[in-house]
């Protein structure tokens, strides 16, 4: 890895939200260092000229993969994008999410420490005492990972993982299960 380019493929899933896609692509374009490639997987949006306009206006070089039929969830398009990825690492971003400045720099630092690390970002927020994180939908974290896992299984997934990145080979091996209601949660666990 060098200071200007991370050997990373960004897999961005889109379904009928070209205005949000523009914002997501802009957040990827503003990253320093830059990603090796950006792959937009359109999940069967059908005729959507606004998609081509949004990609063209983004200033990003994008490979567009169009799925003929909507898969009904993000698992299949994410797997398709991952299969098409060329980077050593892969990162996922949904069309309605954005990366804050410094996101790829933080990933690069993590991989300099551990080249096999899988890194994720979620909607975890901190309480007023800044000692105990809690989740936006009200499920508090537990004292141990096993307790947290059991609470999430019992009460449902309240963690919204909006981005994950890691070695492409590891992520490809695990892949997203389209039969799981919470495919993100299933993969990350």
Per-residue model confidence (pLDDT) at position 130? 43
Q: Please give the helix or strand (H or E) that residue 40 lies within, else none.
A: strand 34-43
How far apart, in whole angstroms, are the C-alpha atoms of residue 111 and residue 103? 13
Q: Please state the rounded mean pLDDT for residues 93-97.
A: 86
* 3-state secondary structure (DSSP) of residue 37: strand
Q: In which band, very low, low, confident or very high, does the pLDDT at 111 lie, cut at 50, 70 and 90?
A: very high
Of the two residues 152 and 17, the one the predictor is more confident about is 17
pTM for this entry: 0.77
């Amino acid at each position: 890895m060098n200071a200007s380019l991370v050997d990373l493929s960004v897999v961005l899933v889109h379904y009928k939200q070209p205005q949000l896609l523009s914002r997501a692509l802009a957040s990827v374009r503003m990253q320093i260092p830059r990603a090796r490639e950006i792959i937009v997987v359109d999940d069967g949006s059908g005729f959507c000229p606004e998609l081509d306009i949004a990609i063209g206006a983004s200033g990003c070089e994008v490979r567009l993969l169009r799925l003929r039929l909507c898969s009904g969830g993000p698992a299949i398009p994410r797997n398709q994008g991952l299969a098409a990825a060329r980077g050593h690492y892969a990162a996922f971003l949904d069309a309605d999410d954005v990366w804050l400045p410094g996101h790829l720099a933080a990933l690069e630092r993590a991989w300099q420490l551990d080249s096999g690390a899988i890194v994720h970002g979620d909607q975890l927020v901190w309480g007023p005492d800044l000692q105990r994180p809690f989740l936006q939908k009200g499920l508090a974290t537990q004292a141990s990972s096993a307790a947290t896992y059991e609470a999430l299984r019992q009460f449902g997934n309240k963690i919204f993982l909006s981005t994950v990145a890691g070695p492409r080979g590891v992520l490809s091996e695990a892949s997203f299960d389209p039969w799981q209601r919470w495919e993100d949660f299933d993969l990350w666990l």
